[in-house]
Each structure stands twice: as structure tokens, then as C-alpha cells.
Structure 1
Amino acid sequence: AVLVERIIRKITNPQEPVDIDRLLVVTFTNAAAAEMRERIGEAISQALEKDPDNRQIQRQMTLLGKASITTIHSFCLDVIRSNFQHIDIDPNFRIADETESTLMKLEALDEVFEEQYEKEDNKDFLELLESYGGNRDDQILMDMVFNLYGFIQSSPWPEARLNEMAQALSLEEGADFGHTSWGRILLDVARLEFLGLKEMAGKALALSREAGLDKYLTVLKNDYDQIDYVLQMIPDPADSEGAALSQGPIWDKVCRLIESINFDRMPTLGKDADKVSQEKVKKIRNQVKAGIRKLQERIFTAGSEEIIKDLNALYPKMSCLAGLASDLARKYNEKKARKSMVDFNDLEHLCLELLTQKDEDGNLIPSQTAVTYRERFVEVMVDEYQDSNLVQEIIIKMISRAPEGRPNVFMVGDVKQSIYKFRLAEPEIFIDKYERFRKGEDPSSMKLDLNRNFRSKEPVIQLVNHIFRRIMTRRSAGMDYDEAAALYKGVSYRGPLEYKAELHLVEDRQIEDENLDEEIVEMKKAELEAHVAASLIKQNIGLPYYDEKAKQQCFLGNRDMVILLRSAAGIAEIYCEALEKEGIPAYMDTGDGYFDTLEISVFLNLLKVIDNRRQDVPLLSVLRSPIFGFTIDELAEIRVEHKTGSYFDAFLYYSQQGEREELKQRCRETLSLIEKWKRKAKFLPLPDFLWELIRETGYYSYVGALPGGTQRQGNLRTLVDKGAAYESSLGKGLFGFINYIDAVRKGKIASTPTKLLGENDDVVRVMTVHKSKGLEFPFVLVGGLGKGFNREKGGAASFHKQLGVALRQVDRDKCCYRKTLLQNIIEARQSREEMAEEIRILYVALTRPMDKLILLGSVGDAESAMKKARNQGPAIPSKARNYLDLLFPALSDYKDILFRIHDRRVISVEKLERPDPERMLGKAIAQGFDVNKSFYDMVAERLNWTYGYPAALINKSKYTVSELSRRHEKPERRPVGTEAASEGAQRGIVYHAIIEKIPLGTDWNWDIKRIADFAEDLVQREILSAEEIESVDLSKILHFLESPLGKRLLNADRVYREEAFNLLMEKDGEEIIVQGIIDCYFTEGDKHVLIDFKSDYLTDKPENIAALKETYRPQLELYKKALEQIRGIRVDETYLYLFAVDRAVRL
């Protein structure tokens, strides 16, 4: 809204009007760019309504189509295409998709390693392989090289950054480590830590003075002075005097000072001393002591000589690793050049190459191309600026007029909502610029805090401000949640339809006591939470709220309610199941792209299990999925009987010695199926295996019945296509395909989200916090608040954008390894940045609701946890393991929130906790008990009772047309062909897809070439695959269009294709719902003609045609009935069109 308003003011300014094509507007996504263009168009239209004769405004409407409202990647693409002659690139280049680019990178990586193996006397490479390669192959080292290549692509100049990181480990012996690049980084890290410790020591001192704890003052003042003295010895990079003071040896001096810090014993106080303040002071002091100890253990572990020796020992390995990444880049670039292709990283780097150059002193300055863009754009506007990165920042700087002293960049963003670190966003850029503008260090620039919130009612705003004033600080999140950052109410409503926030805690200590796998524990906790969530949703449906936009009272419906989760994997479906059980329609809207969809995620886990059964997380996911259908309680029961080893060990044990025979048999069948599929994977071509697996598991039909089923089935077919593409290029079977998919996912390339629902679908949405960003809902329930944060696990190499790369030290003679000082620092920095990101994610979640906010999480003992939080004092984000650890201390003194504790024992979802009636009855009989005659009569009456509606016991409530039609089928109803049924069905899908999509009307003169071109277009749009097109005879489409019925269709007044319906019918005295999809019907004047396309194999014999008519007659009768009842029309003619014999048959 801010950007749109500024644009409108710019282009309609009567004194200094600016044409809209002289503004560059950069947005985060293509969807945001399209939305902004639409909103600007609406605003221009409104301006024209007020002043229709204004030529300037008329001109803007004309120019809007070519205005530069775009993403940064689209802008880079435009720069490259317009200036290709200045760089070495084919002007007809195209952008590679993620599959293609990943395959080429993997091919290049293979070639790099093959070359290394062929070299003679390749000592450094072999040393690197021995140190960091796997025990059986070189996959771990290959992954390191692949990851290093991907990591440096986020740098403006990757090759230079790679060399710089390697050289940082080549140090002069006898040098002072404090003056090396790494030493300066570590000293600055230590300086920031000491600043925090000094602040804490000062707080303990001030608190003692206020509470009259005079005996503490001398000891605490000594603590403070020691820390302050060390701090003075560590140079501040921003302080020129401090830099001058640090010219001499510094590292060893600071090491000795830290070692000399001594914490004296605290004196004993009298009985009348303030006990509460006394405990607080001691707690703060213990934190200071722990901070000093942590610095000694993580940073100041050794003197200069020892550290430099260690780093120099790593230099050959790092240099070799950097060389391999450089070779990968070279070979990958060669492959792209041969195919006239670029990837998304190339767009930014090539654009930088065009826009920058260096002066005589080596300083970066704008190129002549950049100057051209600078003159073209009067102003550069950047939306979502908090998600920018260094590459984008340099691009904007080169085309702006800031270097000339005429700043013309307008940036809009909220750093509190920067939650895309995984997409290489650098919120530090925003924070640094905000601080400089705030302090007036850049006189020609200014900041404007837009902190008025026009979304949420007062209770939500008060809660958000209260929480984040306590947990969002410069130390924890890089910024202070002060008065400028706080939210202020912008909505006008105040009254009875304002609702307090609620915190619901589910006690789960019994689950923790069961000693189960972490994954099963998380599932059980999620199941408990999900049932509480479903109950809360049900209670709030119909709740009145005030719609600020409509200015009227409304009532909560399903579409007004959303459940937000930090992570959806394995959890979102549990919530949806709980909602569905309560009769509440629900939908998972959780993924950012193809690989995050439910169907692909589950199926990839199945492939991983087939390849290697000893992977607990994929195994549990697949066992619980509809493919195998185990419940969480059954999974827990299996684990309880065998608590050691992996979960697969427990599953194998239960299949042989399990207590329950039925469950034991299911385990055996599951293992048998997995083993069978593993054998098939070895001899079948990969795409054939994938397709057979999809159909054999029934998963294709299952996902087809879900919301957006057609799209989900298309996603599974696309996976088969990816398998074919992989095998044709690399041909490494299932294991290689799984690694390839993982490489694509790690590439973090944003896929196009799948839009399966619209705003008006009446369902409760379950989505991730990331997916909810920018959205708003009257009712928001934030779940999973007790779930532990996901932490990056350190490996052989640690990566950090600013700090670089650190390798662990490997001693092959002693067969051991250890983390290096540099790894410790990178992991500590990563931990701090991850916590800052989690705080910002929590902020985004809590600012989505307009009217009501409910917080939900699991905790072992709620009363104990809250009591501990009250005694703890201020929150310590760095020690938080989950969101509740942040919320408890922050809410301990907050009164305007409703608390409720849910005891696990009264949440009726745990089958294992319920009594087993059969087992209890057996035990009672064994022990003997007295019964009277009335008891026997009652048992006999119940055993002999017959249900009055037997059809309802065997009939479902919902049928497809095909299921009902099969009631009329007779054995051997169809002529048998020679082809496989699955091939015929697949071919039918292709024919249907072409008929559904092909343009109709008299303007189209179809011939076989045009049909082939149209089919190729379907492949390019990823509606069908090349293999699917090749499986059908396209001339049959032409035969249909040239047939009398086809010509009628082409000339019809109106055509309807793939029309879905639900029809209420009676079956055996019970009401049922029939679902179906009508292939096609069209209108000719008042007549309506129905067509159903069939691809069954048959010969053109009269008896075969007659048999087929009878087979499909019930199905067509149902279609006809649906159209006549639902559409209110009369179907005059009904046809089967048989592709096998190119004939239309009238029924």
C-alpha cells in the first residue's frame, strides 16, 4: 500500500509528474509484481474517474504495460538481454529449469572426480579424500564440493570469494593471530560477547544497590572492572583510535587477561536481606561466569602459535577443496555455454558483470551500462527490503544516484518479518542501514517508521508488544523492540467483540516417560495437540467478530480460521485428520513448491525406504501414510516391545515375535512388499518402476480423491518424468535418483506454488508460518509451540556467509577428529542467527490474526514450567529450546491472556491408554465372577439383535460413477486385447487430457501437424510428458475432429469439458452421494449433446460394439441424470466415442 501510494503521487504530481516507465519497482515474487501492477492500474483508473481529461494520467495508463514492475531476477534478465554484446553470452540463451541444471551440475561433478582419479601423484586430493571421504565411496566428499559450490554462489564474485576463503588459512608463522582476517573476526565476536557480559555485570551491581545488598557491591564492582578492562583491550573495528592501539600483539594478551579473571566468593548476608533480589543477583552473576567460561572454551582456546599451526595444517586441504569447487564451476559453465543456457545464479552474476567495473585504485564503480540505467530511472523502489541480499544490494546501488550524492532509492520493509534466511536473505543489511539513518550518519537519507497496525484488534497488538519487548533485543535478534518498532492500533473498533488471546497447554509428561523414538513422541504430541485444536476450532465456529473492512458484525466460518505451524512435515496431516474427525473440512496449504506437496513428500520417503530400510524418519512417515496405514499407537506399540536399536530393528522384531497376531502379520506383509519393490527396482527401468509403484500402492487413486486431486496426480506423473530425465542423463538407478532429488531440494530454488483452493472455499487451512506471511485471518491458532527448534548439525565443513568455511581437524594416524576453533565460531554464530530467525518467525505468526489468537503447545508439567518461568526473570532466548521457552517468561507477568491446561488423560485420542474390553472380559472369566440370569438374558438379547438397515452396513455414503456402474457389469464383459490394462488406462488419460485442452471453434483448421504442435505445447507446459504423447496415436484426435460428431462439436454454440458433479441418489433404501466427471457436452440451439470418450481396446465387430454399449450404458445414464437434475437441461443425444475404432456410437 505504501509503495502504490508513493507511485500514484509521483505520476500524478502536478508540479513534477514522473512517467511510470521511469520508475523501477522491485518486488520479492512474480505474484507480488503482478498484484502491484494490478493495484496501480486500479488506482490510475480511479484517478481518471475523478479527472477524465487529465492527459498525464491517461498517459500513465498507456505506459503501465511497459513499466518496470518486476522481481530482481526479471530485472537482471532484462539487463542481460539488452546488453548481451558486452559479455560472452549467446543472445539466444534460455533459463534452465531446476531439474536440468541439477543434472548438469551432477554430471560436471562426476567428471571433476574422474579427472582427479586419473591424475598421477595427486597427493592433496587423496589426502582430502582420506580425511573427509566416506568409508566405502567418495559420496561425502562429493557432497562437500557440491555444497561449497552452492554456498559461494550467494557471493557477488564467487571465484574471488573461494580464493579468499582458502588464503585465509595460509598464515605466516610467528604472526600474531589477532591481526589475521580470522583473528579480527574472532576478536570482534569476543568484543560483542564482552559488551553483553559487561551489561549483565552492571545490572547485577545496580540491582544490589537498589536492594540494599551493600556487602555484594565490592565483589560485583570487581567483576565489572575486570570485564571492562578486557573489553578496552579488544579493538573496536569502528573506532580508529582503538584500531591504532591494536597495532602490537593482541591475541596472546587478551588470552592472558581472560585467564586472569577471578570471581571472588560472595559474602554472606544477614537474615533480613532481600532474598528475592539476592537470588536474582546470584543468578545474573552465574550467567556472567558461564559466559566467561564459554569464551575460554570456544574462542580463546590457545595462543597464536598453536592456532596458526593448526590452520596452516588445514590449508592444503582447503585449497584442494576450493580447487574442486572451482573445477565444478568451470565444467558446469562449459556445459551451460554449449546449450546456450543460464541458471538463476547466473542472472545476478552476469548482471553484476554488466553493471560494475573497477577504477585505478581497484574500487568498485558503476559501468557505462549502469550509468544508462541510472539516467533512465528517476527513482528505484524496493519492496520487502528486509529480504534483500548483498548481490541485490550492489545491483541496486550501481543503478541508483546515491554515488552522485542524489539518493533516489525508496525502500519498504519490516526487518521483524525477515524469515527467509534459507533463501539467503540478509536482514543485517536492513538493520545496518536503519541504524545509520536513525543516527543521522547519512544526512541525505531518512527513515520513516510505519508502525500503525490496521489489521489487528487491541488485544492482539497488546500481546505482541508485551512479548517482543521482552524477547526481541539487539543481542537476541539484532534489533531492539523499542517504541519505534512497537505496533500501534490502526483499526477504529473498540467494544465487546474484542477477544483476549488464549494459551492452551497440553501436558505430555507420560509420553516423555514412555521412552519412544523422538519421531513417534512428536507424532503423539501432535495428535494430542491436534484434537485440542479441533475442539477449539469447533467451539469458535459461529463466534461473532467485527469486520473492519465491511464495517459490520460477522460470524466465524471455516474459511476465516487458520492453524499455523512452524514446520508442517509429518504434522499438518495429523491436524487435518483431527479436524475431519470432528466434521470440520480442512486443507493443508503448507508447501512452497513441488517437493513440499504431501503426495511427493510421502512418495519420496517410500523410495528412500525401498533403497534403505534403516532410515527411521522416512520409514515412520511411510508406515503412517495411507500406503501402509499404521496408526501412531500401533507404531508406539511396536517400539515398546523392542526399545533398543533403530526403529526398523523394532519393526523387524515385532514381525517375528510381536504380541498381537494381526499387527505382527501386517508387519510381515509390509516387509515383504518393501523387499519385493527393492528387487523390482534393480531390474526395471527407473520410470517404469516409479509408475508401477505409484499404481500398485493405490497411492495414485488415493491422492486423486483429495482436494486438487487432478493436480496431485499430475505431480506424481511429473516425478516419473523426472526419473526418466535422470536415467537418460546419469543412469544410476534408485539410489542415484534419490541423491539427485535431494540435491535439487538443497538447491533452495523456489518452485511455483500449487494453487488448489480459492479464497471462498469453506475449509480451515493448515499452513506453515512462512506460507502465511502477508496474509491475515479473523481467527488464528498457532500450534506446535512446544516442538523443539531444528538446529543445523555440524559436519566435516561449516559454512557461513560472512565468516567463510571451516574444516574440522582430522588425525588419520590416531583415527580421530575434532572441531577447530573456526568451526566453533561459525556454529556459535549460526546458532545465534537461527534463534534470531525463530524470534522473527514467531512475530510473523502472532501478527496474522485480526480478531482472535490462540496459542497451543505441549509441555511435560505445565504448572512446574510456568512456576520456573516466573522465578527465572527475563527470557534468555539463547537458551530456548522451543517457542514455549520464549513465551513462558515473557507472559509470566501478563494478565490479559486466558490460560488453560489440558490433561492428556482426558483427551480421548490415545487408544493404548483405553481399556481393552476383550482382554478385561477374558481376565474376568479366568478369575471367575458371579452373574445373575438377567445378565445372561441381556447378553443373549444383544447377540441376537439384528440391525434394521442392513444395506447401510455394506453401502458407502459416497460413490464414484464407475463404482456404481460396476454393479451392472458381467464377468468377461469386455473383449480382451493383447495390451496391459495399465497401458490402456494411461493412454486414455492422455487422450482425455488432449481433448480437454485443445482449442475448439471454427477458427481452428486442425491438421496432423497442428495437433502435433499442440501436443508439444502440452509437454512444454508440463501438462503431459513426452513419453505420454508418444504412447498415443495423434491421428485419432484428428479423426475425431473430422468426424460428423467432431464437426458438430467444433461448430457448437457452447462446449463444456471435464464437468465435475455431486448427485444425491437412493441406493438400497439409503441416501448416497455419487461423484463423477463428465467428459464433454455441448449445446446446439436448444439441444444438448453428451459425449463420453473411451480408449478401450477392441475390434470393429458388431458384437464387440454392442457389448461395450451395454457396459457403459449405466454410466452414461448417470451422467445424463446428473445434467438434467443439476443443470436443469434435457439431454437429447448421448454418444460414446471409441478411439480404438474411430467411431461415435449413439446410445
Structure 2
Amino acid sequence: DLKEARDNFYDTIKSIITRYFKEEDYLLDIANLRRPISALIDCVSEFNHVYQTIKEESEVLDFSDMEKMALQILKHPHFDVSNQLRNQIKDILVDEFQDSNEVQDELVECISRGNNVFRVGDVKQSIYRFRNARPQLMKRLIASTKENDQTLYLSNNYRSKENIVEFNNQLFSNLMNIQGLDSSYSPQDTVKIGVDSQRGGERIELHLINEMEESDEESIKLDRLKANHVAQTIIKMRQEKVYPKWKDYVVLVKSHRSKLELKKAFDSYYIPNFIDVKAGFYLSSSVQDVLQVLRFCLDPSDELALVGVLLSSFFEMNENQLAELRIQSKYSMVDGFKQLYPIDYKNLMGLVKQANQLRLSDFLNHLYQFNNYYDQHIDTQQRTNLDLLRVKALSLDEENFSLIEFIEMVESIQDEKTSEAIPVSQEDDVVKVLTIHQSKGLEWPVVFVMGTKVFMNQNSNSLVHYDNDIGIAMNTILLPERFKRDNPMTLAIKHKILREEKEEALRVWYVALTRAEKKLIIVDKNHKNLDKAQLNLDLILGNRGYTFLTHAAARNIFDTFEIKEIDPSSIESHYVPQTQSTKTFTYIKPDKPSIVFRRPSAHEFKSQVTQLDLDYFNDGKERGTRLHKLIELLPTENWTYELIDSIDDKSIIEEKE
């Protein structure tokens, strides 16, 4: 406690020092920054001019161009488009109005008659600030007293049990009505259940894993403990038969990074899952395994690639075998591998030979079958990723890409946040892990929400600050010391941005806690001084996370809310299910029998993914030729299904043979 108080004191002093200057110095800052800000504006304008010229020459538009140009057409004094549309359109319906921006709202106004727009939205669910959503637009209309403006409030909740509805009413009434915030939870925002079947319900649970010493390593361990605890809780609840289906459960996280440990936990506990890990398609484990093989085929002396290949499921060596190989290698690991594992070496060299003889897509077909990698060593998600990789390879084959060109292309883009290929449908019986943004508008019987310790302020270290209302500001740089400090403009913008970020964070939390139908569980660490947190503006604007805010705001609503402390030792050990049956992945493939793969699990589910046919090589040209010949047999009249089915293609098959 003493150390924390001392650190807080020093942080406060440092914050004051950076702002403690004479008033005339502050005013002088504003005058001195006029020139660099004007130069910046000129630079951005010139860049925009060049960029627009390039797009015009290339005859392309980006998404923002479509909005801007549409608005220019509607507002052009010599065009009558807006009047024509006003006369044609009877009513305009706008959904998710809380996420609209000024341009989108102005587009609607340009084609409306002022009394024929029906907007639907919920300010409390405006969570797309990064897309320039402006909930202020909806607030302004709600407060409007114009004759044509009327607000209708929907006060019934038909989703959640009564306990969940009441908990959220009380919690967000406390959180959002803090003096100094622009957000609010008014009496009109309070909702009640819509039907009698929603009455009662279980209390909301806050599961707090007792505190450990803090470090980066411990933070990773905490994420692992939280993931394992969620996995064990799901298994236990499912065994109790109240929520028997895997798809009854969802886990909501703040960011994609939090999905990684959950995926590891669910896989190790044999929980069927769909987790869209946003780590980049090219960084997924199966794609990386394949790329390591391709790198080695390109350069058989690449020891780093060899290590990756041997540790992968293509050869299934472990770290001890690899260490022994390194020790026994007299010259290089490749030579050592040849001496100690001659059969495996021969097989690997066979891959190298084929990589240099076959087209890339054909080589991938062969590689996927090596050591039954595709069928036995990877899960549904990874199979789908490899299917997509082969599709990409097929398109590159048409452009005659070489192996080295393919690898160079992948290495240049593999850090992009391209999500993995999606292998499941909405009906698959799997536990889903989604970000809160992904969950918006959806619902599940049981919702786990992963709490957060801290919030990160996004713009605090920027050199340039801007705001739609205030304008542009830059930090003051004192020369020759090159000391950077704030000035009145940067302080005003940073404070406004901070407040807007925190207000949206509360709205994100509202979305998360309103997804549950029957049971809501929040999971986090039992943070130090959690009991001492006082709900006020400082706590909201500070970097404390959702768990602190919820705990501070829920102290007087324990009739709908309970805290369960979790001993870390009870979840550190790996949980092994008592019984395991077989999970069946069924892939639907036209004109061919379904292919069934089996792996340990506790149930059966079907995933509607087109299975990659490893015996199918690129015969697109052949199929196209055959299709054209079939079409030639059809008469020049309107085609029907019966007419198409009447064409006998046996003669074409015989002709081909």
C-alpha cells in the first residue's frame, strides 16, 4: 500500500510539472504553432490532391469517395437529384442510427422531406467510434423540440431473465450517471421484462481468481488460468444438463489477443469450439508449417527452416530429439539429420524434388497427404486455412508464380490481420469465443465475459491531436533541449478524447453484459485494492478496467449479484474429462460421399465446410470444355431444369476417354 501511494504521488507530481507554466507561455505556444500547423494542413491537402489524381487516372474509388461524391451530387446546385428522390421516396427507415456519422446523416437529410424519416437506435450501444460513429447525432434528435421530431421509447426487454435485466438497470444507472460525463442512463433507458417466462433467474456471478504477484510472465499465466477456469466451468455446467449444448455458451473478450489462451484451453479440454483468432491467416499454425517446408525446399541448407519442419507434425520430432541432433551433427544439422534419420531424410529430399517439379497447388496437394498431416494432425479451423492456402496457390499458378515468388509474397504480407477462414455455420454445436464488437445484436443462454484490469489510452503519445469540434493541435517542442510538453489546445483535445473513449468503453461493457439470456458470468483477477475502489469521475477517467468499475458500481445491488473467489491452485492442474467419446466432423461434398474424420471429444457435431479433395488436380480447363459441349447440345430456346437434365453427357465422357 505504501509503495502504491508513493508511486501515485510521484505520478501526480510529474503530471502537474508538465502543465505548470506561466499563462503567457501557454498563449505564446498557440501563436508559435500557427506556422507548423498551417504547413501540416498544406502537406495533407497536397497529399490528398495527388491521391485523388492517382485514383482518377486509375478509375477507382474508395469507400469514403462513394459517400462524399454521393453527397456532392445531392447538394450540387445545378442537379435536381435530391428533389427527384424526395418525391419518389415515401418513407426512409434508418437502422442502428447511433452508429451514424455526419456524412451519412446528411445524406439522409438530403433525400428526406423532413417528416418521413424513422430512425431506430440505442445510444448505449454506440461502440464504433473508430469508424467515426457520432452518438451525439441521436442525442441531439432525442432532445429536439421541433414539431416533426418525436421520440418513442421501447421499454421492454424480451431477451434476458429478470435478474439480468435488473442487474444491468442498476449497474449502468450507477456507471453512466457520473457527473462530468456526457453519457447517461436515464429513466427512459430503464427496461423491464416483456413476458412472464422471464421472471426470476440466477444471480450474476463475478468469478475472481485470487491475486498473484504481477509481471509479464504472471500476466500470461493469469490469462491461462482464466481460460482454464472458463473451460472447466463450461464442462461442469454441461454435465449438470441445465445447458446441455455446447452452442449454449459463448465467451466474450475485449480484444482478439485474449482468444489465444482460450483456444489452447478449449482444445486441451476437448471442448468443440469456434475461435476466430485474429492473428493473421498466414500466421496460423498449419500455414506456418507448410511455409517452413516450402522454405526448406527452396534452400535445403536453411537450418532454421529444417528445425521448423522437424518440429511440425510432418515429422513429429520433439525438442529433445532436436537437441540430440544438434549435438551429433558434425558439420550441419542437415548432415546430422541425414546420418541419424536416413529414411526421414530421404522422404524430406523427396519433397524438395517434387517442389521443384510440380506446380505450387499440385505440390500442396501432395504435401497435405504427407504423414497424414491434413487428415489426422490438424483441426477443422486449420484444415479450412489450408484449403484457402491452396485456393490462393491455384490463382498464383495461373500467373506462373515460382516458389520463391510465392514465399516472398507471403513474407511481405504475413503480418496483416487477415482473419482465418471460417469453418463453421451458425447451427454448429460449438462454444464460440467472440470479441464484444462481434457479439453485438446476438444472444446466448450462458455468457462468460472476460474482465479487464486496465484500459489503454489510445492517443496520449501522439504528436498531433485533432478533434471534429476543437480542431488541430500539436505539442510544444522547446529547443534546443527538444523537450516536449502540452499546451492549452492539446490539453483540451486530449481531455475530450479521453472522456469520449471512457464513455464508449462503458457502452462496450453495456453491450457485453446484455447478451445473456439466462446466466451471466464475469471472470477476472481478484485485483489488489479492489474493495477500496470508489466510483467517481477519477475512477472512470483513470486506467482501471471493467472489473474495478463493475465492483465499485455494484456494491449496493448484491440482491442480483454475487462474488466467487477462485483459488488458483484449483485450476492450475490440467483437467482431463472422465469419459471421452468421439466427435465427428462431417464435410458435405457434391456428387461424392461425405468424408468423416474422428477425434476425441464429448459429442458429435457437423461442420458445413467443403472438404479439400486431395486427389483432385487442376482440371478446370477440362471441366470448362465439357460444360461448353453440354451447352452446345441444348436448343436455342428458354432452358428449364427438365431440359438440362435430359442432356446425356455419356457421349462426351466416352469422347474424352
TM-score (norm 2): 0.70
1:1099-1138 residue pairs with structure 2 within 5 A? none
Aligned equivalents of 2:273, 2:649: Cα separation in 1: 46
Which of 503, 506, 509 is 1:842 aligned to?
509
Q: Deviations over 1:868-902 (max 9, x none)?
A: 14x76899311252111111111222223232111
Aligned with 2:190: secondary structure? coil
1:462-473 residue pairs with structure 2 within 5 A? 462-473=166-177
What's 1:559 paired with? 247
1:485 maps onto 2:189 in alignment:
yes
| Deviation at residue 491 of structure 1 after TM alignment | 2.7
Q: Deviations over 1:84-135 (max 9, x none)?
A: xxxxxxxxxxxxxxxxxxxxxxxxxxxxxxxxxxxxxxxxxxxxxxxxxxxx
Paired residues of 1:477 and 1:837 also in contact (CA < 8 A): no
| Deviation at residue 478 of structure 1 after TM alignment | 2.5
Aligned equivalents of 1:756, 1:875: Cα separation in 2: 45
Cα pair distance change 1:724/1:450, threshold 3 Å: farther
| Deviation at residue 568 of structure 1 after TM alignment | 2.1
What's 2:558 paired with? 895
Cα pair distance change 1:727/1:337, threshold 3 Å: farther
What's 1:790 paired with? 456
Q: Which residue identity is paired with 1:878?
A: L
What's 1:417 paired with? 125
Paired residues of 2:374 and 2:383 also in contact (CA < 8 A): no
Q: Which residue identity is paired with 2:169?
A: N
Q: Which residue identity is paired with 1:428?
A: Q
Cα pair distance change 1:493/1:824, threshold 3 Å: same
Larger Rg: 1
Cα pair distance change 1:389/1:795, threshold 3 Å: same
What's 1:447 paired with? 151
Q: Which residue identity is paired with 1:904?
A: P
What's 2:102 paired with? 390
Q: Deviations over 1:816-866 (max 9, x none)?
A: 4334443333222222111111111111111111111111112345xx523
Q: Deviations over 1:422-459 (max 9, x none)?
A: 2221112112222x23xx3x232111111210111101
Paired residues of 1:786 and 1:883 also in contact (CA < 8 A): yes
Which of 138, 141, 157 is 1:433 aligned to?
141
1:653-692 residue pairs with structure 2 within 5 A? 662=320, 665=323
Aligned with 1:805: secondary structure? strand
Over the matched positions of the two proteins, sequence identity in percent amounts to 23
Cα pair distance change 1:483/1:792, threshold 3 Å: same
| Deviation at residue 327 of structure 1 after TM alignment | 2.6
Q: Deviations over 1:892-943 (max 9, x none)?
A: 22223232111112222489xxxxxxxxxxxxxxxxxxxxxxxxxxxxxxxx
What's 2:40 paired with? 321
| Deviation at residue 471 of structure 1 after TM alignment | 0.6
Aligned equivalents of 2:136, 2:565: Cα separation in 1: 39
Q: Which residue identity is paired with 2:245?
A: G
1:500 maps onto 2:203 in alignment:
yes
Aligned equivalents of 1:814, 1:735: Cα separation in 2: 44
Q: Which residue identity is paired with 1:1004?
A: I
What's 2:446 paired with? 779
What's 2:518 paired with? 851
Root-mean-square deviation (CA, aligned residues, Å) is 5.2
Aligned with 2:256: secondary structure? coil
Aligned equivalents of 1:300, 1:430: Cα separation in 2: 39
Aligned equivalents of 1:423, 1:723: Cα separation in 2: 34
Aligned with 1:1004: secondary structure? helix
| Deviation at residue 489 of structure 1 after TM alignment | 0.9
Aligned equivalents of 1:760, 1:846: Cα separation in 2: 23
1:884 maps onto 2:547 in alignment:
yes
Aligned equivalents of 2:234, 2:57: Cα separation in 1: 57
Aligned equivalents of 1:802, 1:667: Cα separation in 2: 65
Cα pair distance change 1:721/1:400, threshold 3 Å: farther
| Deviation at residue 521 of structure 1 after TM alignment | 3.7
What's 1:60 paired with? none
Aligned equivalents of 1:602, 1:583: Cα separation in 2: 20
| Deviation at residue 487 of structure 1 after TM alignment | 1.9
Paired residues of 2:464 and 2:475 also in contact (CA < 8 A): yes
Which of 256, 260, 263 is 1:568 aligned to?
256
Q: How many residues align?
A: 554
TM-score (norm 1): 0.42
Q: Deviations over 1:317-370 (max 9, x none)?
A: 333333332232222222222232211111001011101147xxxxxxx96221
Aligned with 1:447: secondary structure? coil
1:736-747 residue pairs with structure 2 within 5 A? none
| Deviation at residue 461 of structure 1 after TM alignment | 0.5
Cα pair distance change 1:1042/1:752, threshold 3 Å: farther
Cα pair distance change 1:504/1:698, threshold 3 Å: farther
| Deviation at residue 561 of structure 1 after TM alignment | 1.1
Q: Which residue identity is paired with 1:801?
A: N
What's 1:128 paired with? none
1:738-1137 residue pairs with structure 2 within 5 A? 755-783=422-450, 785-793=451-459, 794-811=461-478, 813-861=480-528, 864-866=529-531, 868-869=532-533, 876-896=539-559, 897-909=561-573, 991=618, 1003-1005=630-632, 1046=653
Aligned equivalents of 2:230, 2:81: Cα separation in 1: 57
Aligned equivalents of 1:987, 1:302: Cα separation in 2: 75
Cα pair distance change 1:786/1:698, threshold 3 Å: farther
Cα pair distance change 1:340/1:664, threshold 3 Å: same
Which of 578, 588, 613 is 2:265 aligned to?
578
Gaps of 5+ in 2: 1-7, 293-307, 313-317, 328-332, 335-355, 576-581, 587-592, 594-611, 635-647
Paired residues of 2:202 and 2:519 also in contact (CA < 8 A): yes
1:626-637 residue pairs with structure 2 within 5 A? none
Cα pair distance change 1:509/1:312, threshold 3 Å: same
Moved more, 899-908 or 459-468: 899-908
Q: Which residue identity is paired with 1:565?
A: V
| Deviation at residue 708 of structure 1 after TM alignment | 4.8
Paired residues of 2:286 and 2:385 also in contact (CA < 8 A): no
Aligned equivalents of 2:407, 2:37: Cα separation in 1: 32
Aligned equivalents of 1:331, 1:799: Cα separation in 2: 23
Aligned with 1:580: secondary structure? helix
Q: Deviations over 1:37-62 (max 9, x none)?
A: xxxxxxxxxxxxxxxxxxxxxxxxxx
Aligned with 2:184: secondary structure? coil
1:356 maps onto 2:75 in alignment:
yes
1:588 maps onto 2:300 in alignment:
no
Aligned equivalents of 1:475, 1:996: Cα separation in 2: 69
Aligned equivalents of 2:233, 2:492: Cα separation in 1: 44
Aligned with 1:907: secondary structure? helix
What's 1:533 paired with? 230
Paired residues of 1:301 and 1:821 also in contact (CA < 8 A): no
Aligned equivalents of 2:507, 2:104: Cα separation in 1: 22
Aligned equivalents of 2:176, 2:584: Cα separation in 1: 52
Paired residues of 2:252 and 2:449 also in contact (CA < 8 A): yes
Q: Which residue identity is paired with 1:489?
A: I
More helix by share: 1
Paired residues of 1:501 and 1:853 also in contact (CA < 8 A): yes
Cα pair distance change 1:333/1:410, threshold 3 Å: same
Paired residues of 2:19 and 2:486 also in contact (CA < 8 A): no
Cα pair distance change 1:542/1:814, threshold 3 Å: same
Q: Which residue identity is paired with 1:1046?
A: I
Aligned equivalents of 1:444, 1:959: Cα separation in 2: 57
Aligned with 1:798: secondary structure? strand
Gaps of 5+ in 1: 1-286, 359-365, 546-554, 591-595, 611-624, 630-659, 674-683, 746-750, 912-955, 962-984, 1008-1040, 1049-1141
Which of 369, 374, 380 is 1:707 aligned to?
380
Paired residues of 1:800 and 1:826 also in contact (CA < 8 A): yes
Cα pair distance change 1:789/1:332, threshold 3 Å: same
